[in-house]
Amino acid sequence: MENKYVNFITDEHLLKCVANLHKAYLKAKNNVSKKSFYTNKVDTIKLTFDSKFNDIDEESLIQSEILRQIDKSINNSIGTFHEQILGGIKGYEVGVLSGYDVKATDDSLFADIILEELPSKYEEFAFNSLAEKAKFSKDSLFYLVILNSENSFCEKWIISKSESTISHKKVFKISGDKFYALLSGQENALSELYEAIPIVIDDYLKSESSSNSLNSIFA
């Protein structure tokens, strides 16, 4: 049967990934309530100034801060969502016990995934972590995947130092779109996923609503 959403993973797998992310959102919302907001250390004086000087009612400010805290806690879950999506592509899997986020089932590829570019002070450490593993692997390739990169690229990872550079022939940096293309064999795989996500979410929420209705009937 032809897929409804994207061509590179099954509809069932994509719906499962969305369901897992939804659970993470619900957990984050439960952990950051208005009550817990006040339980934590809150600068109430600043809150008052922000409300008065910016002409925003205090309730709106509190809700905005709660959403900010939820957003902060959900970032790791977004990364996990991409790991699970990529791990559903034929020939690849989530690298649970490998020390990597995603790997090829034949061990020809290993990847660490981050949402944004690394600060320069962490780059060398991250590079060395991959390069050290590459030394002991004959044929495998190693990637640092930057999902939300502004540019599209796949390049040998070169670290510039004050008087030299360091690199490894099997260690690469790659943008999210190029990595999705590499694993799926489809140049537009990531944009296809982005276009499908609103439809997938709607379908998932409808199925959740139907399931909850049936549960209430037979409870």
| pLDDT of 109 higher than 60 | yes
So what's the pLDDT on residue 52?
Answer: 79
So what's the pLDDT on residue 216?
Answer: 44
Span 99-104, average pLDDT? 94
Q: What is the pTM of this model?
A: 0.83
- 109, with CB counted inside 10 A (0-12, 13-18, 19+), is buried
| pLDDT of 25 higher than 60 | yes
pLDDT digits (tens, 9 = 90+) for 144-165: 999 999 899 999 999 988 788 9
So what's the pLDDT on residue 50?
Answer: 77
